[in-house]
């Protein structure tokens, strides 16, 4: 392991040699330069201090007995001005008290400069001191990275798209702009919202979430904005709404695409004016929250159909964040499986199971219409029924076990040939028509059924003139 931290270029590590004896300075400069270090020298402590004001050094080798400023005084200065710089003390007049004082002030090592002075030993000490510093810096870097990653609320992914998402979270979390998170069901939109919150400037204030599709219009209004006593049957006391309760923090509006037109108008006013009015109340109360919204709908399509207000769409999509479906980041499946198995082991008290290569291959081949949520449920089911230490293919559901991206078909070409382009066009047209009929001509659901973007679906509808029922 140490070899990976070895000096690889003269420009990598800078050394400062401080000694009032010219012969010793020249000797150490020659030896250390030959070993690949960038070396500078000073004949006393004051000169060394001036050099350190101009540039930084990784390591200082200093004599103790020098005029004007002793090596101990120089050591104290280095510790105060450049704590990361390693200091090695050398002296011809060693005492126990001097050595104790040097180590107390943070010297890395203490070498006696006598007739038996070993230059090779000094080279080893210098190399190990720099390796130790590099290792400490690497550990600190990894600890910072671990802390940074842990704030992503268990969002797992090594793929390029997920790494890009992590970068977006880091950048966007430092703003107060409204964010719209889009993606298919089960991709982890709330996890991203919580990561934006916990990694942001409002992390010490509340995070309050509400599923807009889980309430009727009336209940959602009182949930978001609160109500006054007696404003409706059962309102026995005044109650704060989510916008008030989350003051200074973050409100997460999940499935905002399910919100009624009337509620959209009221929410737009809150976002514009930054005030709320409780149900049954007359006073307008100021609110200070960051809003993060999420939906699995294509809101641009909803705006085009007049099902979602265009002005509200622009207000909530200041910063759009799109989550990729699991089928577009297959390389993350092994890490996700491992994460779920580790979580299940902790929850169940059982030893952590592994997933066989064959089972993992089947998991990677499946297209996961339910995305990460479906994968987690699949692993949990397999874990519950597995009695050995390895999950095999037999524990996977039939839809995964027998999935094929293409249905097997007997290909027959007539003797007189086939117009392949026309045949494929008819096949495509029939699939579109079948999807529309199955979804009662809902274009968004039809596009989801065929696993294609809504815009592409609409383009093909125009191409094949499938606009009428």
SS (H, E, C) 172-232: HCCCCCCEEEECCCCCCHHHHHHHHHHCCCCCCCCEEEEEHHHCCHHHHHHHHHEECCCCC
From the list 201, 279, 196, the residue with the least C-alpha distance to 241 is: 279
Q: Specify the pLDDT at position 215.
A: 92
Q: Specify the pLDDT at position 301.
A: 92
- Helix then strand then coil, in percent of the chain rounded to 5, is 50, 15, 35
Q: Specify the pLDDT at position 92.
A: 77
Structure token digits, residue 356: 């066989």
Q: Specify the pLDDT at position 405.
A: 62
Q: Which domains does the chain carry?
A: 2-142 (3.40.50.2300), 160-324 (3.40.50.300), 328-401 (1.10.8.60), 420-463 (1.10.10)
Complete DSSP assignment for 242-311: HHHHTTTSEEEEETGGG--HHHHHHHHHHHHH-EE--BT----EE---EEEEEESS-HHHHHHTTSS-HH
What is the pLDDT of the chain when averaged over all its residues? 86
Number of Cβ within a 10 Å radius of residue 240:
15
**Better pLDDT: 434 or 375:** 375
Q: Specify the pLDDT at position 186.
A: 92
Using the structure block, give the residue that is written with the tokens 């969002």.
155
Q: Specify the pLDDT at position 407.
A: 43
Segment 108-122 shows an average pLDDT of 78
Q: Specify the pLDDT at position 144.
A: 52
Distances (CA, A) of 281 to 111, 245, 276, 285, 320: 80, 17, 10, 10, 34
Structure token digits, residue 352: 């952590």
Q: Specify the pLDDT at position 59.
A: 93
Least confident of 18-32, 307-321, 352-366, 431-445: 431-445
**Better pLDDT: 151 or 385:** 385
Q: Specify the pLDDT at position 101.
A: 83
Segment 168-186 shows an average pLDDT of 93
As a whole number of angstroms, the longest Cα–Cα distance in the chain is 104
| Burial class of residue 49 in the structure, from the number of CB atoms within 10 Å of its CB (0-12 exposed, 13-18 middle, 19+ buried) | middle
Chain-centroid distance of CA 338 in Å reads: 18
Q: pLDDT per residue over 142-175, tens digit each? A: 655 554 444 465 788 888 889 889 999 989 999 9
Segment 342-369 shows an average pLDDT of 93
Q: Specify the pLDDT at position 65.
A: 85
Strand partners, 292: 179, 252
Confidence of residue 209 (pLDDT cuts 50, 70, 90): very high
Q: Specify the pLDDT at position 331.
A: 92
């Amino acid at each position: 392991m140490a070899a990976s931290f070895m000096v690889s270029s003269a420009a990598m590590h800078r050394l400062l040699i401080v000694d009032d004896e010219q012969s010793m300075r020249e000797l150490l400069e020659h030896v250390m330069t030959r070993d690949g270090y960038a070396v500078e020298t000073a004949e006393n402590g004051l000169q060394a201090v001036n050099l350190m004001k101009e540039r930084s050094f990784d390591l200082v080798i200093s004599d103790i007995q020098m005029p004007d400023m002793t090596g101990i005084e120089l050591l104290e200065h280095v510790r105060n001005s450049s704590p990361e710089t390693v200091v090695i003390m050398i002296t011809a007049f060693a005492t126990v008290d001097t050595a104790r004082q040097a180590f107390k002030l943070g010297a890395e090592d203490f070498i006696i400069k006598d007739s038996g002075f070993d230059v090779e030993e000094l080279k080893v000490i210098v190399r190990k001191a720099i390796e130790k510093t590099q290792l400490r810096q690497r550990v600190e870097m990894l600890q910072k990275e671990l802390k940074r990653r842990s704030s992503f609320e268990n969002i797992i992914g090594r793929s390029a798209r997920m790494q890009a998402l992590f970068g977006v979270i880091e950048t966007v979390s430092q703003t107060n702009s409204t964010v719209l998170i889009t993606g298919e069901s089960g991709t982890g939109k709330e996890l991203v919202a919580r990561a934006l919150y916990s990694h942001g400037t409002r992390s010490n204030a509340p995070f309050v979430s509400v599923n807009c599709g889980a309430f009727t219009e009336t209940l959602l209004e009182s949930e978001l904005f609160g109500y006054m006593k007696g404003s409706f049957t059962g309102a026995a006391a005044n109650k704060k709404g989510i916008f008030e309760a989350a003051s200074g923090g973050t409100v997460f509006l999940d499935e905002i695409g399910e919100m009624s037109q009337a509620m959209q108008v009221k929410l737009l006013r809150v976002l514009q004016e930054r005030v709320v009015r409780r149900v049954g109340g007359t006073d307008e109360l100021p609110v200070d929250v960051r809003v993060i919204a999420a939906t699995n709908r294509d809101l641009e399509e909803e705006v085009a159909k007049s099902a979602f207000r265009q002005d509200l769409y622009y207000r909530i999509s200041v910063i759009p964040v799109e989550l990729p479906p699991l089928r577009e980041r297959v390389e993350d499946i092994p890490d996700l499986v491992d994460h779920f198995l580790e979580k299940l082991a902790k929850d169940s008290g059982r030893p952590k199971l592994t997933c066989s290569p064959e089972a993992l291959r089947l998991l990677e081949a499946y297209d996961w219409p339910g995305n990460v949520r479906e994968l987690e449920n699949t692993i949990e089911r397999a874990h519950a029924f597995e009695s050995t230490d390895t999950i095999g293919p037999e524990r996977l559901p039939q839809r995964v076990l027998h999935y094929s991206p293409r249905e097997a078909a007997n290909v027959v070409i007539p003797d007189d040939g086939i117009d392949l382009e026309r045949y494929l066009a008819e096949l495509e047209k029939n699939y579109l028509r079948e999807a529309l009929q199955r979804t009662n001509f809902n274009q968004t659901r039809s596009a989801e059924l065929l696993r294609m973007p809504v815009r592409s679906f609409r383009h093909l509808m125009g191409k094949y003139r499938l606009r009428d029922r």
